[in-house]
Structure 1
Amino acid sequence: MLFNAGLNKRFWTEAASTACYVISCSPSISLDKKTPIEVWSDSLSDYSQLRVFGCATYAHVDNIKL
């Protein structure tokens, strides 16, 4: 994320924190497609605080091909 955003290595803590937050807001198959925040607090995830960090985004397509 830092390289794609063109940021210095001193921002690695913010990058790690952002990555953990995004993972916590992402649905999980092991939790019946709920987010960890929904399971923990019984409330829906709030995506209004997400901002562009500056990294490339890739979509996962599950079409069983390599």
Structure 2
Amino acid sequence: MRRFLLHFDLPQPLWVEARMTETYCVNVVPNTVRGMEIPYSVWYGETPAYARLHIFGCAALTYVDKVERRKLDAKAKEAIFVGYSREKRGYRFLDSMTTTATTAFYEEARSSPEFR
């Protein structure tokens, strides 16, 4: 958890997000204690979606809804990936301008190389 925050130079109040992301990642890989079973698969009865895994602290673009922007405003804003949503299938992002964490549910299949 500490390595997440230090490596990406993120503020310490994000330790909860870092810990939850670390726990999620540990639960989707085979566990030697349970005979190489995947804890996520044991609990939910299905294989985890590995395509959903992202690097903690990586740059991202989040969609700005039409009601929150004017005609000439950007349709996306820069954010930092800080984890996975607990309530719904989605991701948690830290808005770099307002320093608030939000959940986004849209993922663009074609992503720009500089934002991976």
Q: State the TM-score, normalized to the length of structure 1.
A: 0.71
Residue 39 of structure 1 aligns with an amino acid whose one-letter code is V
Once the two structures are superposed, the pairs formed by residues 9-48 of structure 1 within 5 Å of their partners are 9-48=12-51
Greater helix proportion: 1
* Aligned residues between the structures: 54
Residue 14 of structure 1 aligns with an amino acid whose one-letter code is E
Q: Give the superposition deviation at 1:34.
A: 1.5
* Cα deviation 1:31-64 (Å, max 9, x = unaligned): 221110111222111112211114xxxxxxxxxx
Residue 19 of structure 1 aligns with an amino acid whose one-letter code is E
1:3 and 2:29 matched: no
* Percentage of matched positions with identical amino acids: 28
Distance 1:20 1:9 in 2: 18
Q: Which gives a bigger RCO, structure 1 or 2 (Cα 8 Å, sep 6+)?
A: 1
The root-mean-square deviation of aligned C-alpha atoms, in Å, is 1.2
Q: State the TM-score, normalized to the length of structure 2.
A: 0.43
Which aligned segments of 4 or more residues in structure 1 are displaced greater than 6 angstroms? Answer: none
Q: Unaligned stretches of 5+ in structure 1?
A: 55-66
Q: Give the superposition deviation at 1:26.
A: 1.5
